[in-house]
């Protein structure tokens, strides 16, 4: 763009055409911004006039549809919010606009970020349909930010934004072979995001490489920062290896990819230490936090929609009342403040946060670690499968507020992406991005999606 070889209008037009062609199969995008091309033309005029532009000027960005974007409904994938229009941008969206980025549209997600029911369909919502994995189309995108991860993998936009309360950036990004970055809690404002928990919610970039993730984070983070990405790891780097929490029957390729990643790091001069990380369970406090947060959010949004959790539970729509779904988590949240006092919830939240941070910080200190590496995901199951084997390592970062990033690392059955994630020290996000960049440059494991209908025999 700076050299005049590409305009924002040309790039935005390409993205819109790609969405038009691929989204009927992928169901990764819920809505498109009708003013995106006009904004692209405006950026081009400013550039040609010599007007100083921001670091993301002219770059289209897709935003998960639980993040407020002025002019577009924020549906959280639910028919209940199809006509819910925010009065202002989420703070991170405002920062993207000020940087010159073009808001291209909103991405699909597991309805209500997978918090409506205890048995959600990964990547499915009544508004957006079933998001499909671009590598093998009968496979799940895995996780509530699946639409953003698939959009990035399929090049529907150069950049996407997801949200994460309990691994919802890390797992789907790994499953689509892209980079997903969950910042330290508080580094990205949660204002204007449909809430689950103020102690765990954060937004972060999902991109095709670490450098792009760092560029987006530099715009949406507070405070702003400068991040130098170097291919070589600093001398004396020490990384813990954790196998993560997993269900029975996890695929052996997960262990192979993790072992290969550790071996490659050792070749780069990294000292590897086997560790066991505490994996807390916040399910006892999330219902109370969700009820308080969602009632406040619904009362602040314009348009015709339920105004509180009680009205959400009562909302009736055929697509919302599929027999296998239900509203079990909504109902538990509605009754939460009758079960225990606010003081008891706050004490439990403080306890699990302190236990998590105490355990993780002790590991970093005892072994002199710069990061802890773990498998990001398991072998992507078919969309129709239930109760599949999984690997999940996002709990410590989510509950403790640590930064975490997943990088493509290998494949199961040669076609299904697997990633490894690195959890860094709190508020050392720039250090973690640099480490992930070095690993990415040394491995270059990512492959473009092939959109195979099924996994080849």
> Alpha helices, DSSP H only, in 235-376?
252-267, 286-298, 309-314, 328-339, 342-367
Handedness of CA 34, 37, 38, 43 (dihedral sign): positive
451 contacts 137 by C-beta, under 8 angstroms: yes
The contacts of residue 219 (CB under 8 Å, 6+ apart) are 54, 55, 56, 95, 96, 99, 101
Tokens 């308080």, residue located: 292
Give yes or no: 144 in active site. yes
- List the one residue out of 329, 322, 387, 309 whose CA is nearest residue 129: 322
Length of the chain: 457
Sign of the torsion formed by the C-alpha atoms of 93, 99, 103 and 109: negative
What residues contact 176, with CB distance under 8 A and at least 6 apart?
A: 133, 134, 135, 141, 146, 149, 150, 152, 153, 417, 449
Catalytic residue among 78, 165, 168, 438: 168
List the structure tokens of 152: 């990035």
> Does an H or E element contain 169, and which?
none
* DSSP per-residue letters across 2-28: TTSS--HHHHHHHHHHHHHHHHHHH--
Angle of CA points 262, 268, 272, to nearest 5°: 40
Say which of 64, 173, 176, 421 is annotated catalytic: 64
Crossing angle (nearest 10°) for helices 8-26 and 36-48? 160
- Tally the C-alpha atoms within 13 A of residue 38's C-alpha that lie toward its C-beta: 4
CB 139 within 8 A of CB 383: yes
Residue 2, sorted as left (phi over 0), alpha (psi -120 to 50) or beta, turns out to be alpha
Catalytic site residue from 110, 144, 173, 398: 144
Give yes or no: 31 in active site: no
Query: What does R_g of the chain's alpha carbons equal in angstroms?
Result: 21
Our separate counts of H helices and E strands in the chain read 13, 17
Nearest to 183 by CA among 436, 426, 445: 426
- Hey, which residues are catalytic here? 64, 144, 168
């Amino acid at each position: 763009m700076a050299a005049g070889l590409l305009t924002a209008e040309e790039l935005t037009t390409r993205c819109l055409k790609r969405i038009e062609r691929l989204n009927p199969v992928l169901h990764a995008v819920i809505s498109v911004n009708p003013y995106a091309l006009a904004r692209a033309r405006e950026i081009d005029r400013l550039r040609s006039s010599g007007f100083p532009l921001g670091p993301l000027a002219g770059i289209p960005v897709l935003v998960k549809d639980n993040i407020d974007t002025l002019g577009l409904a924020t549906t959280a994938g639910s028919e209940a919010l199809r006509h819910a229009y925010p009065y202002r941008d989420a703070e991170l969206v405002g920062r993207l606009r000020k940087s010159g980025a073009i808001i291209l549209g909103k991405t699909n997600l597991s309805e209500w970020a997978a918090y409506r029911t205890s048995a959600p369909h990964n990547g499915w919502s009544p508004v957006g349909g079933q998001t499909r994995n671009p590598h093998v189309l009968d496979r799940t995108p895995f996780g509530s930010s699946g639409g953003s991860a698939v959009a990035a993998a399929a090049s529907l936009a150069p950049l996407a934004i997801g949200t994460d309360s309990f691994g919802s950036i890390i797992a789907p990004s790994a499953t689509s072979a892209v980079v997903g970055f969950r910042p330290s809690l508080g580094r990205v404002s949660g204002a204007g995001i449909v809430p689950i928990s103020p102690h765990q919610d954060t937004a972060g970039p999902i991109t095709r490489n670490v450098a792009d993730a760092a560029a987006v984070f530099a715009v949406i983070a507070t405070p702003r920062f400068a991040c130098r990405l170097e291919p070589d790891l600093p001398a004396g780097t020490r990384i813990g290896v954790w196998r993560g929490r997993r269900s029975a029957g996890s695929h052996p390729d997960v262990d192979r990819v993790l072992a290969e990643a550790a071996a490659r790091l050792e070749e780069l001069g990294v000292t590897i230490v086997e560790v066991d990380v505490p994996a807390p369970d916040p399910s006892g406090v999330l219902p109370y936090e969700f009820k308080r947060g969602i009632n406040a959010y619904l009362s602040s949004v314009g348009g015709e929609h339920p105004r509180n959790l009680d009205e959400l539970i009562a909302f009736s729509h055929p697509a919302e009342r599929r027999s296998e779904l239900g509203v079990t988590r909504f109902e538990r949240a509605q009754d939460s403040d009758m079960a225990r006092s606010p003081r008891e919830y706050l004490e439990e939240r403080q306890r699990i946060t302190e236990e998590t941070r105490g355990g993780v910080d002790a590991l970093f200190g005892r072994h002199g670690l710069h990061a802890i590496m773990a498998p990001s995901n398991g072998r992507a199951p078919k969309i129709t499968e239930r109760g599949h084997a999984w690997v999940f390592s996002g709990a410590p970062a989510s509950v403790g507020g640590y930064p975490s990033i997943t990088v493509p690392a290998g494949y199961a059955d040669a076609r299904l992406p697997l990633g490894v994630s690195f959890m860094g020290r709190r508020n050392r996000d720039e250090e973690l991005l640099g480490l992930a960049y070095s690993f990415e440059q040394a491995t270059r494991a990512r492959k473009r999606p092939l959109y195979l209908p099924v996994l080849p025999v």
